[in-house]
Amino acid sequence: MIRVVFLGPPGAGKGTQAERIARKYNVPHISTGDILREAVKEGTELGKIAKSYMDKGELVPDDIIIGIIKERLSQPDVKERGFILDGFPRTLAQAEALDKMLEDLSMPLDRVIYLNVDDEEIVKRLLARGRADDTEEVIRNRLRVYREQTAPLIDYYSEKCILAEVYGVGEIDEITKKIEEFLGLEG
Ligand code: AMP
């Protein structure tokens, strides 16, 4: 059973690392970015709304995102196996809503893994990735949004004494190993 949040700037490798841990330990990987991109692809009402924010590198409104997570965390696989949250929470309001949800479900959070990567490296990685929302202007906005709205969560979880910082530059395997250590996994 693993219950963890992956925190960090866009391009830190949250998705890559979350995917690896999820596969290896058979834990549901919940990425709000993936859920939103799927909705955009399917052209649902949610997708249409989300796209207008994603295209600009802005955050999709809290109530929409919180609703998605609430629904997902109530599924039986999460109760059985836990979760790896990737890209959520991204605002203080989302973090507080998550606390409330987990309390109601009697599922305390084990750890928050903060993947830290230097700004220059982030821009380099995002430009190389070439996703639709990875143009230079949108990247710059996403970094600004991260600093203003998401970075304060580092202190929020640090005060709860569940934050573990991992430097996200280097060999992917080595970074995975460090995360496993912090999660108390054998590797
Ligand atoms: P990501 O794949 O995590 O980089 O997310 C891509 C985009 O989806 C972000 O730039 C936001 O527009 C939106 N998004 C993903 N997760 C959230 C969230 N927790 N809160 C608000 N917007 C989100």
Alpha-carbon 171 to chain mean position: 20
For the question of residue 142 being annotated catalytic, the response is yes
Instruction: Decide whether any atom of ligand 1 lies within 6 Å of the 9 Cβ.
Output: no
In a domain, 160, yes or no: yes
**Predicted local distance difference test score (pLDDT) of residue 20:** 98
All residue ranges of the chain with pLDDT < 70 are 187
Query: What is the tens place of the pLDDT at every residue in 32-60?
Result: 999 999 999 999 999 999 999 999 999 99
For residue 54, give Cα distances in angstroms to 39, 72, 107, 133, 145. 12, 21, 30, 7, 12
Containing structural domain, residue 6? 2-180
In a domain, 186, yes or no: no
In a domain, 187, yes or no: no
Q: Report how many domains make up the chain.
A: 1
In a domain, 29, yes or no: yes
46: Cβ contacts below 8 Å, ≥ 6 apart: 36, 39, 64, 68
Given 41, 48, 131, 144, the catalytic residue = 131
**Predicted local distance difference test score (pLDDT) of residue 132:** 85
In a domain, 139, yes or no: yes
Centroid of ligand 1 to alpha carbon of 89 (angstroms): 9
In a domain, 54, yes or no: yes
Residues 166/113, Cβ–Cβ less than 8 Å: yes
Q: Whose CA is nearest to atom 15 of ligand 1?
A: 33
**Predicted local distance difference test score (pLDDT) of residue 129:** 85
For the question of residue 14 being annotated catalytic, the response is yes
In a domain, 122, yes or no: yes
For the question of residue 125 being annotated catalytic, the response is no
**Predicted local distance difference test score (pLDDT) of residue 43:** 98
In a domain, 116, yes or no: yes
Tell me the CATH number at 164: 3.40.50.300
